[in-house]
Structure 1
């Protein structure tokens, strides 16, 4: 049987990922999304940071998060298959996007060539 603390954390991280993707599709810049999500959950940014790393989510907070995100009661408690990108994949893509956006056409061409060489295509 899986650890309920881990399940709740994974599920709330998935909720944050969905929130962030929706906001960015709407044109909201990524900076400040963590604080905006904390505000949506009606918790402090500090508490959100603790939840992401190690703070267990108690029953009362779990129900508060579910209500704020439009999920049914006990939704956070259900184990789900991971969806979307992992944190490491997101970090890699963010670095690649930053590199892409911070360079000129020649730099972008070199980035593409490096990736093509790496994957052998």
Structure 2
């Protein structure tokens, strides 16, 4: 029977990912520091297996993943590698949903509530159509 991975093993996964990323993109620790806003000492520590703070993971994701859904997906992956989160089931994120998630950041609280009400309205209409179609 396999035992759950220790935090150290999970941290090693994040460090391994970071090391491979640096090698693949031919980046020095200082270049990664500039790209991500994380100090080169912290980068070296992560590669050596030290624990990453969630804010550090966010910076890494922003530096390597850019903006929008790509950054969010990378942040999620790095949080899993660091042991902060378990891996989510492989649900495919549709392009329209990904675009909606990206746009959500630009909306204020009132607009978000309005979107929720509109979504409820669309669901209600769909249910009525299905109900009327059934004999």
Report the TM-score, using the length of structure 2 for normalisation. Answer: 0.41
**Greater length-normalized contact order (CA 8 Å, ≥ 6 residues apart):** 1
Decide which structure has the larger Cα Rg and report it: 2
Report the TM-score, using the length of structure 1 for normalisation. Answer: 0.45
